[in-house]
Amino acid sequence: MKENPLLKLESYGQSIWLDFIRRGMLSSGEMARMIEEDGLGGVTSNPAIFEKAIAETGDYDDAIRTLARAGKSVAEIYDELVVEDIRLTADLFRPFYDRTEGKDGFISLEVSPHLAHDTVGTLTEARRLWQRVNRPNVMIKVPGTLEGLPAISQLIGEGINVNVTLLFSLPRYRAVSEAYIDGLEEAVAQKRPLKSVASVASFFLSRIDVLIDALLEKKVAERGPVADLAGSLRGEVAIASARMAYQIWKEIFSGERFQRLAASGAHPQRVLWASTSTKNPAYSDVKYVEALIGPQTVNTLPLETLSAYRDHGNPASRLKEGTAEARHCLQRLAKAGIDLDAVTEQLENEGVEKFVKPFDSLMKALEQKRRAAQE
């Protein structure tokens, strides 16, 4: 019997998390089997995932009816459902968390996407969720917007684990890494233990290629002087950006500033590869897994990508390779007339909106179910 490729990834220093959660997976034992058979190291959630789980399945209908008949508001129902799922998942991963001494075994819960540009609101909501869930292996997801940066530092300084989400640009990734270290230094100043604080920085991948490939296709179609160059860059930019992000990670977390904190027990903030499902059918369905396997990283996979990698993944340590080529790729992109900073700014704005819409849609669906239960 062929060995499960997912199980080999840990030997290269990479943890695989599932980018999906649904109550039926918890109650049926499916999630527990994935921990055992696939070596699953954690779970991420977001508003789009909860919309799919709650609004599009019957898993939660009994709980919704009970809460509705108890007079709970839509916001209270959402809170009860989500917090229960997060607690159940955290408890499932707790042995993994304990075995790795707090380095892995996390479940992430996002603040309301409406707070993406509200520092104070993000802090208030993050603290509330942290206390409400009350599990050491929970990470609160905070968007890596400009307004999110001070919230990240403050939360880390308070000992609250943070998953920084919606990262697309290299300058912003560097700023997030530094915000994490700022928070650790504040924790030291407050005499808080560093060993129990954890964070990941979620760098989004396939969305970069989707947008940039469209711009490249346009240049190819125009048949101008950069047409051939543009054609050669299709499907290359996201992985090149990720490789350069990893170089930033190595620079910052091997530096003297972090090493002083590491001596006091601080964990490095791992890079997490997100948006790893392949959107273009012309590309491999494990494209954003194979190329980015390396130490101190996390890759969060939707169910379809996880299944594909289990079936035909070919693990090897590849993240450290091709750094010069990655840098050259981004230089060639500029020569092709595409401003990567402008693209990543657009992606950040669109990313916030892509979470706001399903969140609002879920609230509407819950309101309908709430009213039906009260009739």
Cβ atoms 164, 200 nearer than 8 A: yes
Q: What is the pLDDT of residue 374?
A: 83
| DSSP assignment letter at 145 | S
C-alpha 246/C-alpha 296 separation (Å) is 10
Mean pLDDT of the chain: 96
Determine what percent of the chain is predicted with pLDDT higher than 90: 96
Answer yes or no: is pLDDT of 2 > 80. no
Q: What is the pLDDT of residue 11?
A: 96
Q: What is the pLDDT of residue 176?
A: 98
Does 141 participate in catalysis according to the annotation?
A: yes
Q: What is the pLDDT of residue 128?
A: 98
Segment 262-273 shows an average pLDDT of 98
Q: What is the pLDDT of residue 237?
A: 98
The residue whose two tokens read 């968390």 is: 97
* DSSP code string of 212-234: HHHHHHHHHHHT-TTHHHHHHTT
Instruction: Say which of 8, 52, 103, 141 is annotated catalytic.
Output: 141
Segment 51-77 shows an average pLDDT of 93
Segment 299-315 shows an average pLDDT of 98
pTM of the model: 0.96
Answer yes or no: is pLDDT of 56 > 90. no
- pLDDT tens, 204-253? 999 999 999 999 999 999 999 999 999 999 999 999 999 999 999 999 99
Determine what percent of the chain is predicted with pLDDT higher than 70: 100
Answer yes or no: is pLDDT of 263 > 90. yes
Segment 111-124 shows an average pLDDT of 97
Question: Would you call 62 helix, strand, or coil by DSSP?
Answer: helix
| CA distance to 48, 150, 185, 195, 256, per residue, from 262 (Å) | 36, 22, 11, 9, 10
- pLDDT tens, 18-37? 999 999 999 999 999 999 99
Enumerate domains of the chain plus CATH numbers: 5-206+238-317+347-374 (3.20.20.70)
Segment 287-294 shows an average pLDDT of 98
The backbone region for 339, taken as left when phi is positive above 0, alpha when psi lies in -120 to 50, beta otherwise, is beta
Segment 171-176 shows an average pLDDT of 98
Q: What is the pLDDT of residue 1?
A: 59
Mean pLDDT lowest for which of 46-60, 176-190, 343-357?
Answer: 46-60
In this structure, are strands 42-43 and 14-18 parallel, antiparallel, or unpaired? parallel
User: Could you tell me the pLDDT band of residue 64, with boundaries at 50, 70 and 90?
Assistant: very high
Q: What is the pLDDT of residue 160?
A: 98
Answer yes or no: is pLDDT of 184 > 80. yes
